[in-house]
């Protein structure tokens, strides 16, 4: 079986093609980069509309497959920005109907987890899902993926981007902040906000913003990263202790940050747990993760009619009944 | 003997002045900067000891503290040879679950009425000993009388229930018990609903 997956929850439109073994035949992304400021949902949606067809073509060529070889279409049904979701949903419906193949709407957060699992061969993980809009600690429990910890206000990537914008860095600022942080020398104390397994970033962002002009920007980037990532690592460890799981997996664009990877690795090692991290092309938003999750869902017997494929901007992971459980529990 | 490796501390069963006791040691976390690590471990150790002492004085069931060593981030406390609520709850009958959850609610209400916040109420941090519910691990606790903070405290337990336990009615029973002791808890219940909405994506479940 060959599945084509379309991702488009936020700034990236992506198309991936995978087979039923989870082998990635192609994975093409195109990212919307605003000239100034952050993501404008409508502009991002226009970007996706303009790019979806070429990206699908490119993905097909790279995979060596013909369009008629596609047996299943998956797309990101949510959570995400409404205009972007509706744009790719329309493309996915049109594609599935014209090919007369099944269509499945995939939860974007679960897709990050499933692709990480199949690529790294992890089985029962605690996922640290860190991106612009999302910051969640997710693990499987009682038939569902559940959120054990999450941000109480803004996503970690959003926090970094907002800070970067004030420093005059372009979007996305995370990678630039990471570079500047490497030049930081002095740690400046910032608020540390962990509540149980949840975190909050807006207070730290304000505190750091208020220090601009009073401290070196490199030191601020360094201190902001060190504080936020220490909080994330701490709540991850709490979730691991609570769920008694021995594997930790990274997902989301912010997981490309080497310092965050290092912190989670050190934490895992100290606990005798295993650390898994897919390559950057599968950490960021991409179509292959959507395609693979659609494969799993179909294998589990999931079916959607066109009228079931309305987008869900606030789609939570724990709203999904994981019916492809046999795949998850193969190891145990 | 290492009993449990928690997220931030090792729990050892050891002997101290001829007693079997728990030694809770907050370990150095190499993943974070020393500046962050030391400050967190010391303040949390101190705060935990203070809160547990206050709770006990107020008649709330917590282990007795025997000794505190701030420099080594270590607390010596009473050993409770009893199961965690997490490990027993799902095996109880509906009636037993109800009665346990109501008791938990009452105990949390007492804590809050005395101006104490636990900060990490999960079923892993509640111990069931001779029909009494003990709170352990006050490392993230604080002294506070604000409805907002009380709401966050209860919201944590709500999340823990939905993530770990099968019976969706448990948290409703906790709130029932909470009301019995706290009196008018409507502001706090409203806070819990507000906090749930604050998450990135709204939950479909509500408190019943």
**pLDDT, chain B, mean:** 91
- What's the topology of domain A2-113+282-319? Nucleotidyltransferase; domain 5 (3.30.420)
Residue A293 pLDDT exceeds 80: yes
Residue A332 pLDDT exceeds 60: no
CB A294 within 8 A of CB A303: no
Task: List the 110-129 stretch of B: residues with Cβ below 8 A of A.
Answer: 119-122, 124
Q: What pLDDT does residue B207 have?
A: 42
Question: Could you check whether the bond before residue A172 is cis, i.e. omega within 30 degrees of 0?
Answer: yes
Catalytic residues of B: 120
Q: Tell me: the pLDDT tens digits for A248-287?
A: 999 999 999 999 999 999 999 999 999 999 999 999 999 9
Q: Tell me: the pLDDT tens digits for A53-87?
A: 999 999 999 999 999 999 999 999 999 999 999 99
Q: What pLDDT does residue A142 have?
A: 80
Phi and psi at B80, nearest 5°, equal -100, 110
Cα angle vertex A91, ends A85, A95, to 5°?
Answer: 140
CB A153 within 8 A of CB A163: no
Q: Tell me: the pLDDT tens digits for A129-177?
A: 999 989 999 999 888 898 888 998 999 999 999 999 999 998 889 999 9
Nearest partner of B74 among B143, B9, B145, B150, judged by Cα:
B9
Q: How far apart are CA B24 and CA A142, in angstroms?
A: 31
Residue A330 pLDDT exceeds 60: no
**pLDDT, chain A, mean:** 94
Which of the four pLDDT bands, split at 50, 70 and 90, describes residue B201? low
Q: CA of B11, closest CA in chain A: separation in Å? A: 13
Residue B163 pLDDT exceeds 80: no
Is the confidence metric ipTM above 0.85 for this complex?
yes
A2-113+282-319 and A123-278: identical CATH topology: yes
Q: CA of A241, closest CA in chain B: separation in Å? A: 5
Nearest partner of B182 among B151, B159, B161, judged by Cα:
B151
Q: What pLDDT does residue B204 have?
A: 43
Q: What pLDDT does residue B202 have?
A: 55
With a pLDDT cut of 70, the percent of chain B lying above it is 95
Q: What pLDDT does residue A130 have?
A: 97
CB A184 within 8 A of CB A141: no
Strand-pair category, B9-16 with B2-5: antiparallel
Q: How far apart are CA B105 and CA B185, in angstroms?
A: 12
Burial of B23 (0-12, 13-18, 19+ CB in 10 A): buried
- Does A187 contact chain B (CB < 8 Å)? yes
Q: Tell me: the pLDDT tens digits for A18-44?
A: 999 999 999 999 999 988 888 899 999
Q: What pLDDT does residue B22 have?
A: 97
Q: How far apart are CA A120 and CA B77, in angstroms?
A: 42
CB within 8 A of A114, min separation 6: which ones? A289, A292, A293, A296
Q: How far apart are CA A19 and CA A35, in angstroms?
A: 37
- Does A245 contact chain B (CB < 8 Å)? no
Q: What pLDDT does residue B205 have?
A: 41
Residue A327 pLDDT exceeds 80: no
Query: Which CATH class, in words, describes the domain spanning A123-278?
Result: alpha beta
Chain A residue with the nearest C-alpha to that of B31: A263
- Does A321 contact chain B (CB < 8 Å)? no
């Amino acid at each position: 079986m060959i599945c084509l997956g379309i991702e488009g929850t936020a700034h990236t439109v992506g198309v991936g093609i995978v087979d039923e073994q989870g082998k990635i035949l192609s994975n093409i992304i195109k990212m919307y980069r605003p000239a100034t400021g952050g993501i404008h949902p409508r502009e991002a949606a226009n970007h996706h509309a303009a790019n979806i067809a070429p990206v699908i073509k490119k993905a097909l060529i790279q995979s060596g497959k013909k369009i008629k070889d596609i047996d299943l279409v998956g797309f990101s049904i949510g959570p995400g920005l409404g205009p972007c979701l509706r744009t790719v949903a329309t493309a996915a419906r049109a594609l599935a109907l014209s090919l007369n193949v099944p269509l499945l709407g995939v939860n974007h957060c679960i897709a990050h987890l499933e692709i990480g699992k199949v690529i790294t061969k992890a089985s029962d993980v605690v996922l640290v899902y860190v991106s612009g809009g999302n910051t969640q600690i997710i693990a499987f429990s009682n038939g569902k993926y559940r959120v054990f910890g999450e941000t109480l206000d803004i996503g970690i990537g959003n926090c970094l981007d907002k800070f970067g914008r004030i420093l005059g860095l372009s979007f996305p600022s995370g990678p630039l902040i990471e570079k500047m942080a490497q030049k930081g020398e002095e740690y400046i104390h910032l608020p540390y906000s962990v509540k149980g397994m949840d975190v909050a970033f807006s207070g730290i962002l304000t505190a750091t913003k208020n220090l601009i002009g009073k401290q070196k920007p490199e030191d601020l980037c360094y201190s902001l990263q060190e504080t936020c990532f220490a909080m994330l690592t701490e709540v991850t460890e709490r979730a691991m202790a609570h769920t008694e799981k021995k594997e930790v997996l990274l997902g989301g664009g912010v997981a490309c940050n080497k310092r965050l990877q290092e912190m989670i690795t050190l934490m895992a090692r100290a606990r005798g747990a295993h650390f898994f991290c897919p390559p950057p092309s599968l950490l960021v938003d991409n179509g292959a993760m959507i395609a693979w999750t659609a494969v799993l869902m179909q294998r589990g017997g999931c079916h959607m009619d066109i009228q079931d494929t309305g987008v869900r901007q606030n789609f939570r992971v724990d709203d999904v009944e994981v019916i492809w459980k046999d795949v998850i529990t193969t190891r145990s | 003997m290492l009993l449990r490796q928690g997220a931030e501390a090792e729990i050892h069963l050891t002997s101290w002045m001829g007693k079997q006791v728990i030694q809770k040691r907050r370990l150095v976390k190499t993943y974070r900067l020393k500046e962050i690590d030391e400050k967190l471990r010391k303040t949390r150790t101190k705060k935990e000891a203070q809160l547990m002492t206050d709770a006990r004085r107020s008649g709330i069931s917590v282990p007795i503290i025997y000794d505190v060593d701030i420099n080594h981030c270590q607390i010596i406390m009473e050993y409770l040879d009893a199961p965690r609520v997490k490990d027993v709850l799902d095996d109880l009958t509906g009636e037993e679950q109800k009665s346990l959850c109501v008791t938990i609610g009452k105990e949390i209400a007492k804590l809050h009425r005395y101006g104490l916040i636990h900060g990490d109420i999960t079923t892993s941090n509640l111990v069931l000993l001779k029909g009494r519910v003990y709170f352990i691990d006050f490392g993230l606790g604080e002294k506070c009388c604000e409805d907002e903070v009380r709401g966050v405290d209860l919201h944590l337990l709500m999340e823990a229930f939905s993530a770990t336990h099968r019976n969706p009615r448990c948290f409703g029973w906790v709130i029932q018990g909470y009301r019995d002791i706290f009196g008018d808890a409507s502001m706090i219940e409203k806070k819990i609903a507000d906090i749930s909405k604050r998450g990135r994506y709204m939950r479909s479940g509500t408190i019943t």
